[in-house]
């Protein structure tokens, strides 16, 4: 059963490690070149130069563990973020992760802008009187090491309950956030490549024992208002099915037109290793041929697809790993 966690930080910041230059004269930030999407690609690097995360908030532990960064900029010019998601219920099993590229000079510009915005300084952002709102964390790699700034309720607060100094610091942080989430506007349209799907070589699977969506012990699986208005049938759902506001019409699991058929699990045997204490989640990582098979199966699955492994059914949340991530440990609690 999934439970809501108030202010939990299960999806901690992944370790950011400054890679040594491959040859003399190479700086921290190289020009965007022909490196592949993933770690181990010849000529590539998994060094994160700048990253923006939304952390905490009133969401399920599985959502915290699988949450993607708002933006990750790598020293070789790769930019990874999450693209628009199709409005269907239940949603597709895989997130829409996109890859773009910028120049090494523009990577430096973004880091310099973050430094000028106070990411490397001790700034007081205050604590707005908003319960359960996530915080926004900025992380940059500088010559002096990793620097971070964490702003509570950056996108939710209206300035009430804060001092003038705190409101000023937050305005600067919000301006930085807006600049980083609009790279064509910040760097110039010709400075950012077209988006293309990110191709992971490994996938983490966060699992918990399957419970019916309409059982008293299961979380509500209601679609968002936007997706309720004009939703399409989910992958694997019956033809002509439409979402139900309560997860199942008339309280009947068997009559739910969005209910998914169980599928055989193509990855490592579930559930895997516990993903922290007291959260009821486990994790396995698929790579190589298993990752290829899992990604292929997931493309026609939904977030509510039951997966069968070891004679049991499991609810699985999939998280493609980013270049600097290697396994479930990167998704564990960060404190």
What are the structural domain ranges in the chain?
A: 48-197, 202-331
User: Could you give the angle at the alpha carbon of 327 between the alpha carbons of 284 and 36, nearest 5°?
Assistant: 125
| CA distance linking residue 195 with residue 111, whole number of Å | 21
- pLDDT above 70: residue 236: no
The share of the chain scoring above pLDDT 70, in percent, equals 72
Q: Closest by alpha carbon to 258, among 91, 94, 90, 88?
A: 90
**pLDDT level of residue 91 (50, 70, 90 thresholds):** very high
Which of the four pLDDT bands, split at 50, 70 and 90, describes residue 33? Answer: very low
Examine the pLDDT at 100 and tell me if it is beyond 60: yes
pLDDT at 212: 79
Structure confidence at residue 1 (pLDDT): 41
Could you give the percent of the chain with pLDDT greater than 90?
A: 60
- Residues 33-48: what's their mean pLDDT? 48
- The predicted structure's pLDDT at residue 18: 32
Cβ neighbours around 196 below 10 Å, total: 12
- Residue 311, pLDDT > 50, answer yes
What's the pLDDT score for residue 86? 86
Grade residue 45 by pLDDT with cuts at 50, 70 and 90.
low
As given in the structure block, the two tokens for residue 272 are 């895997």
For residue 316, what pLDDT is reported?
98
Residue 276 is predicted with a pLDDT of 82
Q: Provide the whole-model pTM.
A: 0.76
pLDDT in tens, 111-148: 999 999 999 888 999 999 998 899 999 999 988 899 99
| Distance in angstroms (rounded) separating the CA atoms of residues 77 and 193 | 10
Q: How far apart are CA 17 and CA 73, in angstroms?
A: 13
What local confidence, expressed as pLDDT, does residue 240 receive? 40
d(CA 111, CA 117): 10
Q: Which of 165-169, 213-217, 274-278 has the lowest mean pLDDT?
A: 213-217
Q: Token digits for 288?
A: 């190589």
* More reliable by pLDDT, 274 or 223: 274
On the question of pLDDT at 204 being above 50, the answer is yes
| pLDDT at position 30 over 90 | no
Cross-strand bridge partners of residue 5: 59
Over residues 37-65, mean pLDDT? 76
Please report which confidence band the pLDDT of residue 210 belongs to, taking 50, 70 and 90 as the band edges: very high
Cβ(319)–Cβ(66) below 8 Å: yes
Mean pLDDT (the chain) is 79
Q: Helical H runs in 56-156?
A: 61-66, 104-116
Q: Which CATH architecture does the domain made up of 48-197 adopt? A: 2-Layer Sandwich (3.30)
Q: Is 94 exposed, middle or buried (0-12, 13-18, 19+ CB in 10 A)?
A: buried
CA distance 335 to 55: 11
DSSP class of residue 4 equals: -
Q: Measured between alpha carbons, how far is 29 from 134 in angstroms, rounded to an integer?
A: 30
Q: What is the mean pLDDT of residues 264-268?
A: 97
Q: Which two tokens stand for residue 298?
A: 């997931």
3-state helix vs strand vs coil in the chain, percent to 5: 20, 25, 55
Name the strand (E) or helix (H) holding 167: helix 164-180
């Amino acid at each position: 059963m999934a439970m809501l966690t108030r202010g939990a930080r299960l999806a901690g910041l992944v370790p950011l490690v400054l890679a040594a230059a491959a040859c003399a004269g190479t700086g921290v930030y190289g020009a965007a070149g022909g490196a592949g999407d993933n770690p181990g690609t010849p000529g590539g690097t998994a060094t994160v130069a700048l990253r923006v995360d939304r952390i905490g908030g009133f969401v399920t532990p599985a959502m915290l563990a699988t949450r993607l960064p708002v933006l990750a900029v790598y020293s070789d010019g790769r930019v990874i973020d999450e693209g628009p998601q199709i409005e269907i219920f239940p949603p597709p099993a895989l997130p829409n992760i996109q890859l773009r590229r910028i120049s090494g000079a523009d990577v430096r510009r973004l880091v310099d802008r973050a430094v000028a915005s106070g990411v490397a300084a001790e700034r007081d952002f205050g604590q707005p009187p908003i319960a359960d709102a996530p915080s926004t964390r900025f992380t940059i790699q500088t010559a002096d090491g990793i620097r971070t700034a964490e702003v509570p309720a950056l996108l939710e607060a209206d300035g009430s309950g804060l001092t003038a100094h705190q409101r000023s610091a937050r305005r600067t942080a919000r301006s930085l956030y807006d600049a980083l989430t609009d790279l064509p506007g910040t760097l110039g349209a010709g400075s950012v490549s077209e988006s293309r799907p990110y191709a992971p070589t490994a996938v983490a699977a966060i699992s918990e024992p399957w419970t019916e969506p309409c059982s008293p012990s299961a979380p509500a699986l209601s679609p968002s208002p936007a997706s309720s208005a004009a939703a399409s049938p989910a992958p694997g759902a019956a033809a002509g099915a439409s979402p139900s506001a309560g997860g199942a019409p008339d309280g009947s699991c068997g009559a739910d037109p969005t209910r998914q058929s169980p599928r055989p699990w193509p990855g490592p045997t579930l559930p895997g290793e516990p993903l922290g204490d007291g959260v009821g989640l486990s994790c396995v990582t698929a790579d190589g041929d298993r990752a290829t098979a899992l990604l292929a199966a997931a493309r026609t699955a939904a977030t509510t697809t039951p997966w069968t492994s070891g004679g049991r059914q499991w609810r699985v949340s999939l998280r493609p790993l980013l270049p600097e991530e290697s396994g479930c440990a990167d998704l564990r609690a960060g404190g």
